[in-house]
């Protein structure tokens, strides 16, 4: 009898594991607009409306155009040259630990350089995805310029973002209703087993 109960609960656990499934969740961000020195970033809270047991990858799927700025070198201040700028997407409150950046504009100046695609937001150092396993977090989209040794930007560039979608690839936790259904089913099986033993 005890063996049957143990086997039944093992079956329930295996059923739960089978229900947890790999899924790609997408969320449009509403971060469209122009980013530059005057409007350097946008920050938004998100709720994917699912929870994860594991997250394997996080991406930003976006497109837009990057227009370079003009920079000088202190040794030759009368000859400004186009220098690319970038746009980044980062998760959480430390933007350097989980981010991706697209640089451009230097070769096409004064015209913008287009970008379009899904870029992975990479983990660095000891960072993890543990704080967003519940499907909630904060994302920042921003504008940045290169650090120039012995020079500076004299005219900022800009990034026009047409769209941005957060994409999370992970193992989704079954909904509470599914758990409840499995527990009720297991209890029903256990009750039938008891009745059949008597």
**Integer Cα distance of 52 and 25 in angstroms:** 10
CATH of 22-173, one of 3.30.160, 3.40.50, 3.10.20, 2.60.120: 2.60.120
What's the pLDDT at 94? 75
Is residue 48 a contact partner of residue 136, using CB atoms and an 8 Å limit?
yes
φ, ψ of residue 40 to 5 degrees: the values are -75, -20
Alpha-carbon distance of 64 to 167, in angstroms, equals: 17
Its pTM stands at 0.79
pLDDT level of residue 177 (50, 70, 90 thresholds): very low
Task: Give per-residue pLDDT as tens, 46-96.
Answer: 999 999 999 999 999 999 999 999 999 999 999 999 999 999 999 987 767
pLDDT, tens digit, 9 for 90 and up, residues 136-163? 999 999 999 999 999 999 999 999 999 9
Burial class (CB in 10 A: 0-12, 13-18, 19+), 167: middle
pLDDT score at 14: 47
């Amino acid at each position: 009898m005890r063996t049957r109960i143990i086997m039944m609960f093992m079956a329930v656990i295996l059923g739960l594991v089978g229900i947890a499934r790999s899924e790609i969740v997408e969320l449009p961000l509403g971060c469209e607009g122009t980013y530059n020195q005057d409007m350097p970033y946008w920050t938004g809270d998100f709720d994917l409306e699912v929870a994860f047991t594991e997250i394997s990858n996080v991406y930003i799927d976006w497109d837009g155009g990057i227009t370079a700025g003009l920079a000088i070198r202190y040794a030759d201040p009368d000859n400004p040259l186009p220098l690319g700028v970038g746009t980044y997407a980062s998760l959480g409150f430390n933007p350097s630990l989980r981010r991706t950046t697209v640089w451009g504009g230097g070769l096409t100046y004064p015209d913008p350089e287009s970008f379009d695609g899904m870029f992975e937001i990479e983990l660095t150092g000891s960072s993890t995805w543990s704080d967003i396993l519940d499907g909630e977090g904060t994302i920042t989209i921003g504008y940045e310029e290169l650090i120039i040794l012995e020079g500076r930007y004299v005219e900022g560039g800009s990034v026009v973002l047409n769209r941005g979608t957060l994409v999370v690839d992970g193992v989704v936790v079954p909904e509470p209703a599914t758990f409840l259904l499995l527990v009720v089913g297991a209890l029903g099986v256990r009750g039938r087993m008891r009745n059949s033993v008597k």
